[in-house]
Amino acid sequence: MKIVYFDVESYEEEFLKQANDGKYNYLLLNEPLNDLAPVDLKYSDADVISVFTTSRVNKKVLEQFKNLKLIALRSVGFNHIDLDYCREHNISVVNSPNYGNITVAEFALALLLDVCRKVTVSYSEYKNSRVSPANLIGTELCGKTVGIVGLGAIGSAFAKIAHGLSMNIIAFDKYEKDEMKDKYGVRYVDFDTLLKESDFISIHAPLTKDNYHMFDEKSFDKMKETAILVNTGRGELIDTQALFNALVNKKIAGAGLDVLENEETMTDFDYMFGINRLDKFTLEQTIINSRLFQLDNVIITPHTAFNSKEAIHRILNTTMSNIEVFLSGGKQNNVI
């Protein structure tokens, strides 16, 4: 049984070595898995692969693995995997749920506070000895209305934190939870109402075929001019061009983003030094992403909301458990 782990960071190596030594034939690779180069023959015979969100596992990649039986995701999200191909070729996909509920919720709050209280802007001005008090006037969270898009495990954790800060909480989700209503005062509303009433919006929805670009030009037109948008979900939930226009034209006041559309092109050197590899749409998204960094009312972080010691430990434990259960003939945390 051969297992290949992609996207392996240095702080994961010791754990994975201890978990695999003497049990499996395995490889630990730092680079992500994508279609920029052919799959190396030394691991194309893998029975199991494990990837993080920085890998893009499409049909072109998958068809090079002839023995593949399982993809073990070190993430909750799975939009970077070609699930249709996996279904057609009987490849199981399992994920790592619930590892970052508190971690991501806390980071979303950090982004919101940063934008509201201009923490990064204050630091930058102070560091450069150009402090302008008028430019650093912030906005309190207490008593304001926060709209939560997606009240799953992470969204619920964020709601609990918001309740502790005496915020009014409204939510848009397919499923209503009595506990969230009774204990935290959550009021469920439709999407349009959430857009119109929210002082702040925090996105915690997974990416599906139905909610791609749910925040588009029409959505931003319905939001308050003082509204701040936070996204720790998936970049593709927001139409980046529409967001850029809304920020520049002051249709909304600011944004805190841990995820971007086509974010891999911002950090993957294969893309950065091989721009000819980008199709027209991806190139346009990369340019818009770069322009977002130039705006003073935007904070952008490199998809790091998950990144706490506690969450990493849970991810790795769940991943190994998923693999061991599968190889024993069972399945847990299955996507397909």
Which residues have a catalytic role annotated?
234, 263, 303
SS3 state of residue 310: helix
SS3 state of residue 291: helix
CB–CB of 302/1 below 8 Å?
Answer: no
CB–CB of 68/90 below 8 Å?
Answer: no
DSSP 185-247: --EE--HHHHHHH-SEEEE-PPP-TTTTT-B-HHHHHHS-TT-EEEE-S-GGGB-HHHHHHHH
Phi and psi dihedrals of 157, rounded to 5? Answer: -65, -40
Q: Is the C-alpha dihedral spanning 96, 98, 104, 106 positive or negative? A: negative
